[in-house]
């Protein structure tokens, strides 16, 4: 059986279909992780545009 560490608490989790909360060990750890994403403690890095806003041509700017 494959075991992985829970991303939140590092408890070993058996990786199979009967693991309801995989990769987490429990609903608590799953909700803690969701809370981290919701508060933006976790986020996917975004690529910055090297040109900056001031360097766009007028026809490239979309106004709403």
State pTM to two decimals. Answer: 0.63
Q: What is the average per-residue pLDDT within 5-30?
A: 94
Q: Is it true that the peptide bond before 41 is cis, omega within 30 degrees of 0?
A: no
At residue 4, the pLDDT reads: 95
At residue 59, the pLDDT reads: 56
pLDDT at 5 over 90: yes
User: 3-38 in CATH: which number?
Assistant: 3.30.50.10
**How many helices (H) and strands (E) would you count in the chain?**
1, 2
At residue 64, the pLDDT reads: 54
At residue 21, the pLDDT reads: 93
Residue pair 33/8 in contact (Cβ under 8 Å)? The answer is yes
Residue pair 14/23 in contact (Cβ under 8 Å)? The answer is no
pLDDT at 44 over 80: yes
pLDDT at 22 over 80: yes
């Amino acid at each position: 059986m494959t075991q992985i560490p829970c991303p939140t608490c590092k408890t070993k989790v058996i990786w199979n279909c009967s693991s309801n909360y995989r990769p987490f060990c429990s609903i608590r750890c799953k909700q803690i992780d969701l809370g981290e994403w919701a508060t933006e403690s976790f986020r996917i890095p975004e690529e910055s545009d090297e040109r900056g806003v001031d360097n766009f041509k007028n026809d490239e700017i979309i106004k709403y």
